[in-house]
A and B are shown apart, each in its own frame.
Chain A
Amino acid sequence: MTTSFPRLLLDHARQRPQASALREKEYGIWQTTTWSQLEQLVRALAAGLHAAGVKRGQHVVVIGENRPRLSASMIAAQVLGAVPVPLYQDAVSAEFVFPINNAEVAFAIAEDQEQVDKLIELREQCPGLARIWYDDPRGLRNYRERGLASLDSLVAEGAALDAAAPSRFIEWVDAVQPQDVAAMFFTSGTTGNPKGVVHTHFTLIDRAQAGAKFDRLTGDEEVLAYLPQAWIGQNIFSFAQWLACGYVVNCPESADTVSIDLKEIGPTYYFAPPRVFEGLLTSVMIRMEDASAPKRWLFNRFMDVARRIGPARMDRQPLSLGDRLLYALGDLLIYGPLRNTLGFSRVRVAYTAGEAIGPDLFAFYRAIGINLKQLYGSTETAVFVCLQPDNEAKSDTVGVPIDGVELKVLDTGEILVRSPGLLKGYYKNDEATAEVLTADGWYRTGDAGFLDAGGHLKIIDRAKDVGRLMGGANDGAMFAPKYVENKLKFFPFIKEAVAFGDKRERVCAFINIDFEAVGNWAERRNLPYAGYTDLAAKPEVIELVRDCVEKVNADLSRDERLAGSQISRFLVLHKELDADDGELTRTRKVRRGAIADKYGVLVDALYGGRTSQYIETQVKFEDGRTGVVSADLPIVDAKTFPALRSAA
């Protein structure tokens, strides 16, 4: 491969100058930028940036929502051999300090006043930041700040320079090599400073093309770009694959109008993390609650049909004539209009990634005829490692390795990846690079998993959290706490779960009920309760949780490797796990170690075979006061199932 992003832009501008490259909704109308207009814009920006002193290898920070001129600025920087560094536009000013100093950034392109204010604020800490250009001049008219200017003035100046020496642009583009650095993405490390992941034109374009080939993407796709460009997931869909395939990227009018814009554009290729799909589903469900009784009846009736037939239909399994007719009727009355309301009536391929997606949520979208699939990848692998083929999407796997990818699973369960799309390294952090890249070119993902019988990759947990059972019936079996916890949390009644089992005979768990869902359930059964602690201790509620746990056990028993992780005993906690009490992280991940220490008595009681345990816990209220919650917690045995050997 000998191409680069600027070269791809030129190719599109030559081959189909009048085709749409970008659209942005402004003043209520979708305004189109064609490939040839985009080339003119990039030419002007490149000449302007060159005159401002942007040189090969330098970093140029880009901060803002998805805006055509910000995308063009990124290409313009690449034309000069400089490296665009997109940063998260919703981050606070202080979070920009490390990336800007780490990458010795002298030039920044910001979307609007909000971003400019943030950059000005940190100028003392980042003395190297010399020039700032802004896209939207609103509110910035009276700013007198050193090196601050509008993108308009940069374009105007650049256009004049480019007209005076038009051949320079082509020379610059020709000088860009595939092995040159194309972009840098800062990963939000949970500990320590973020790390700059360095990608070349080759790594990004190779993966973009491999993904495009896998899903047979064409230049006719429509994509709505509304997630941060600093997230490689959005960047690959609305920048790398955009230039690789030449499809149209649409920029929403504002963050608030995304759902309206989605409906107007009707994208054919769509990508979002599970929480977005969950939010969309919730909005549908809320509106259905308000609908008239006949509509609700029709909706529920046909959603049952969809859940029964839909997923099988998506997987191209044979259906009876009756089912086919029933589904067709449902499509006419419910599924079609619903897809249209969601903005998904033209979606050919939709992906979700980033975290585990609940099986019900996943099945809902597939049931109404949306080809929702999962993929596996990370910033370091330029996203595309594993993708689910059409008709083979399952909620608990992440697909098959695609073109160019080699996978290796270590004894510890950790997955290693080798592909042309691996990062060049972390910027100025050889130590961290050496930790993840082996000498023979493998990337350590830090995720534990395995390939199932069908060749699909199944991710179970972070490798460092995976343990082994010791002694007892399942001696040496793999124990993946997060996998078990996630399965429990997919039940609406269970808010949090903490599983124990590493170096123990069997698996036990703490369960946190979801106060709202269980409270609602109790009210519908005329079950009085006085509060969280009281509700959590109700025998009926514990039965309800036991039911969920046993369903999870039945599910786990179907998987030879994880059958040993079935939960044999559990208890329902008397208080909600809370970040204020140090039990969860701020991003709501359970801190298993801290919880095991704090509730040591309960863990001992679970493993010691007791049937109940008294506990007193200090809690911190939101106003800073502390109080004590006490309860006598019953400990319950759950039914486990013998492993089903090689069911797959």
Chain B
Amino acid sequence: MTALALKKPPPMDVASASNDPRATDTPITQRRIGDVVLDVQNISLSFGGVKALTDISFDVREHEVRAIIGPNGAGKSSMLNCINGVYRPQQGSITFRGKTFKHMNSRQVAEMGVARTFQNLALFKGMSVLDNIMTGRNLRMKSNLLLQALRIGPAEREEIRNREFVERIIDFLEIQAHRKTPVGRLPYGLQKRVDLGRALAMEPKVLLLDEPMAGMNVEEKQDMCRFILDVNDEFGTTIVLIEHDMGVVMDISDRVVVLDYGKKIGDGSPDEVRRNPEVIKAYLGTSH
């Protein structure tokens, strides 16, 4: 794979595009950043005496790539777990598509179209890639257990429909060669891709990615970046990602929230964040 486009597509060449009559013939949908879909207000979370998050507020707009960054222990994963309904914050509210919740449970969140991947992969190691991604379709299966077990009537049609969707994801993530391979036998970078595939199988509106690039080599990181941008681009999925690798974050996100010791210390475009003195002090200034 050469010429991996890490950066967003080149800006529109206005002069040449308008000179060429053909350019207007081809329908090109532009990636538009829309209204706020997810609004996090004054979230505080503590475990006993340990304050994991203190009064965090930020929003996520439709179709954007939103990054949450911060040093180790800054509270990034805790934040994601609050949105995801795994943790119950003591204070604050989360507004998702106009509905406000004190806290949500995981199933509700999933049904509303929020999917996630995990930092330490939570795949079924003994199952094939195909079956793992199929589990992501669980919420879309309407027929009951008996019909599914006997493969009769609507169950079979449903199975075919879902399998087709999963095959599109396999094609999208370029893992055709591993379709039938048990996940446990795949290298780490590919397992991460399968994890992403399973989240995509839910057809999420919002995708939460917990350190999608952790532990990868440079080439795997580039591949993953391309997949994240392509998901955002092709399906219009809103993406919230936690990441350690600053280079990656600055390249692919539209806006960045910076956390440090459970507090928000910065919020804005990658350039703004890069210039923010507090951020530099807390995170960027330390070379590593």
Chain A interfacial positions (CB closer than 8 Å to B): 25-29, 92-93, 113-114, 117-118, 121, 131, 138-139, 141-150, 153, 253-254, 256-257, 260
Residues in B whose Cβ lies below 8 Å from that of A92: 2
Shortest Cβ gap from A533 to chain B (Å)? 34
- The reply on B245 being an interface residue by CB < 8 A is no
Docked complex Cα distance between A147 and B174 (Å): 28
Residues of A within 8 A of B2 (CB): 92, 114, 118
B29 interface contact, C-beta 8 A: yes
Sampled A-B contacts (19; CB under 8 Å): A27-B167, A114-B3, A118-B3, A138-B172, A138-B230, A138-B234, A139-B226, A141-B29, A142-B31, A143-B9, A143-B28, A144-B23, A145-B13, A146-B13, A147-B23, A149-B22, A149-B25, A149-B26, A254-B174
- Complex A-B, nearest 10 residue pairs according to Cβ-Cβ distance, in ascending order: A27-B167, A256-B177, A144-B12, A142-B9, A146-B16, A257-B177, A117-B3, A253-B176, A28-B167, A149-B26
The residue on A at minimum CB distance from B26 is A149
Is B25 a contact partner of A257 (Cβ separation < 8 A)? no
B150: A residues at CB distance < 8 A: none
Is B171 engaged at the interface, CB distance under 8 Å to the other chain?
yes
Cβ contacts under 8 Å, A254 to chain B = 174, 176-177
Q: Does B30 contact A (CB under 8 A)?
A: yes
A146 touches which of B9, B20, B226, B230 (Cβ 8 Å): B20
B177 partner residues in chain A, CB cutoff 8 A: 253-254, 256-257, 260
CA–CA, A143 to B9, complex, Å? 6
List B contacts of A150 (CB < 8 A).
Answer: 26
- Report how far A117 CA is from B5 CA in the complex, Å: 9
For the complex formed, measure the closest distance between the CB of A594 and the CB atoms of chain B, giving whole angstroms. Answer: 31
Q: Give CA–CA (A131, B22) in the complex, Å.
A: 10
A520 and B16 alpha carbons, distance in the complex (Å): 63
B5–A139 CB distance below 8 A:
yes
Verify B20–A147 contact, CB threshold 8 A. Answer: yes
Within 8 A of A (CB), among B161-186: 163-164, 167-168, 170-172, 174, 176-177, 179
Please indicate the chain A residues that have their CB under 8 angstroms from the CB of B172 in the complex.
138
CB contacts under 8 Å to A, within B1-28, are 1-3, 5, 8-10, 12-13, 16-17, 19-20, 22-23, 25-26, 28
Determine which residue in B26, B168, B177, B234 has the highest number of CB atoms from chain A within 10 A of its CB, and name it.
Answer: B177
**Residues of A contacting B22 in the complex (Cβ-Cβ under 8 angstroms):** 131, 147, 149
**Which of chain B's residues has its CB closest to A152's CB?**
B26
Beyond known contacts A131-B22, A147-B23, A260-B177: 11 more, CB 8 A cutoff = A114-B1, A117-B5, A118-B3, A139-B233, A142-B28, A142-B30, A143-B10, A143-B28, A144-B17, A153-B26, A253-B177
Whether A28 touches B3, Cβ cut-off 8 Å, given contacts A146-B17, A146-B19, A149-B22, is no
List the count of A-B residue pairs having beta carbons below 8 Å apart.
82
Q: In the complex, are the beta carbons of B176 and A113 less than 8 A apart?
A: no
| CA gap between A115 and B11 in the complex, in Å | 19
Which residue from chain B places its CB closest to the CB of A258 in the assembled complex? B177
Alpha-carbon separation in the docked complex, A40 to B215 (Å)? 49
Residue of A nearest to B168 (CB): A27
Given contacts A118-B3, A145-B13, A146-B20, contact A257 B233 (CB under 8 A): no
Query: Which of A26, A118, A141 has a CB less than 8 Å from the CB of B171?
Result: A26
By the criterion CB–CB under 8 Å, are B5 and A28 in contact?
Answer: no
What is the chain A residue whose CB lies nearest that of B3?
A117
CA distance A408 to B212 in the complex (A): 64
Minimal beta-carbon separation of B200 from chain A (angstroms): 14
> Smallest distance from the beta carbon of B28 to chain A beta carbons, Å?
7
> Which chain B residue lies CB-closest to A143?
B9
Within 8 A of A (CB), among B80-126: none
Which of the residues A28, A121, A142, A256 comes within 8 Å of B233, measured between beta carbons?
A142
CB distance from A409 to the nearest CB of B (A): 44
Which residues of the partner chain A approach B8 to less than 8 Å between Cβ atoms?
Answer: 142
Q: Across the interface, which residues of B come within 8 angstroms of A117, CB to CB?
A: 3, 5
- CB closest chain-B residue, reference A130: B20
Q: State A488–B176 Cα separation when bound (angstroms).
A: 41
- How distant is the Cα of A143 from the Cα of B8 in the complex, in angstroms? 10
Closest residue of chain A to B16 (Cβ to Cβ) is A146
Q: State the Cβ distance, B75 to closest chain A Cβ, in Å.
A: 34
Residues of A within 8 A of B167 (CB): 27-29
> Do B23 and A146 have beta carbons less than 8 Å apart?
yes
Interface centre among A114, A141, A148, A257 (most CB of B within 10 A): A141
CA distance A28 to B165 in the complex (A): 11
B180 nearest in chain A by CB position:
A260
Task: From A131, A142, A257, give the contact of B176 (CB < 8 A).
Answer: A257
Residue of B nearest to A120 (CB): B10
Q: Which residues of B sit under 8 angstroms from A144, Cβ to Cβ? A: 10, 12-13, 17, 23, 28
Identify the interface centre among B2, B25, B167, B233: most chain A CB within 10 Å of its CB: B2
**A residues near B230, Cβ cutoff 8 Å:** 138-139
Is A27 within 8 A of B171, CB to CB? yes
CB nearest neighbor in A for B30: A142
The residues of B that contact A118 with a CB separation of less than 8 Å are: 2-3
Q: Which residues of A contact B171 (CB under 8 A)?
A: 26-27
**A28 to B166 alpha-carbon distance, docked (Å):** 10
CA distance A99 to B121 in the complex (A): 47
Give Cα A114 to B12, complex, Å. Answer: 19
Cβ-closest chain B residue relative to A91: B2
Q: Determine the chain A residues whose CB is within 8 A of the CB of B25 once the complex forms.
A: 149, 153
Min C-beta distance of B229 to chain A, whole Å: 8
A365–B119 Cα gap in the complex (Å)?
47
With a cutoff of 8 Å between Cβ atoms, the chain B residues found around residue A27 in the complex are 164, 167-168, 170-171
Docked CA distance A92–B3 (Å): 9
Q: Closest A-chain residue to B174, C-beta based?
A: A254
Q: How far is the CB of A375 from chain B (nearest CB, A)?
A: 30
Contact assessment for B170 and A28 in the assembled complex, using a CB-CB cutoff below 8 Å:
yes
Flag if B28 contacts A28 (CB, 8 Å).
Answer: no
B9 to chain A, nearest CB (A): 4
Q: Give bound CA distance, A505 to B16, whole Å.
A: 70
Report the Cα distance A72→B10, complex, angstroms. Answer: 31
Cβ-closest chain A residue relative to B31: A142
Q: A148 to B163, alpha carbons, bound, how many Å?
A: 33
Closest chain A residue to B1, Cβ basis? A114
The docked-state distance in angstroms from the alpha carbon of A149 to that of B2 is 22
CA distance A113 to B25 in the complex (A): 20
Instruction: State A256–B1 Cα separation when bound (angstroms).
Output: 12
Nearest to A26 among chain B residues (CB) is B171
Q: How far is the CA of A636 from the CA of B234 in the complex (A)?
A: 68
A141-B5 contact, Cβ under 8 Å, with A146-B16, A149-B25: no
- Of all chain B residues, which has the CB nearest A131? B22
For the complex, what is the distance from the CA of A117 to the CA of B10, rounded to whole Å? 11
CA distance A150 to B177 in the complex (A): 27
List B contacts of A142 (CB < 8 A).
8-9, 28, 30-31, 233
Report if A141-B164 is in contact (Cβ < 8 Å); known contacts: A114-B1, A121-B3, A260-B177. no
- Complex CA distance for A253 and B172, rounded to whole angstroms: 12
Q: How far is the CA of A575 from the CA of B30 in the complex (A)?
A: 59
- Chain B residues closer than 8 Å to A256, beta-carbon distance: 174, 176-177
**Cα separation A150 to B22 with both chains bound (whole Å):** 12
Separation of A149 and B22 alpha carbons in the complex (Å): 8
Q: Which residues of B contact A149 (CB under 8 A)?
A: 22, 25-26
- Report Cα–Cα, A27/B160, bound state, in Å: 12
Question: In the complex, which residues of chain B have a beta carbon less than 8 angstroms from the beta carbon of A260?
Answer: 177
What residues on A are CB-neighbors of B176 within 8 Å? 25, 28, 253-254, 256-257
| A116 and chain B: residue at smallest CB distance | B3
Nearest chain-A residue to B229 (Cβ)?
A139
Instruction: Give CA–CA (A124, B23) in the complex, Å.
Output: 19
Q: Which residues of B contact A26 (CB under 8 A)?
A: 171
A88 to B176, CA, bound (A): 23
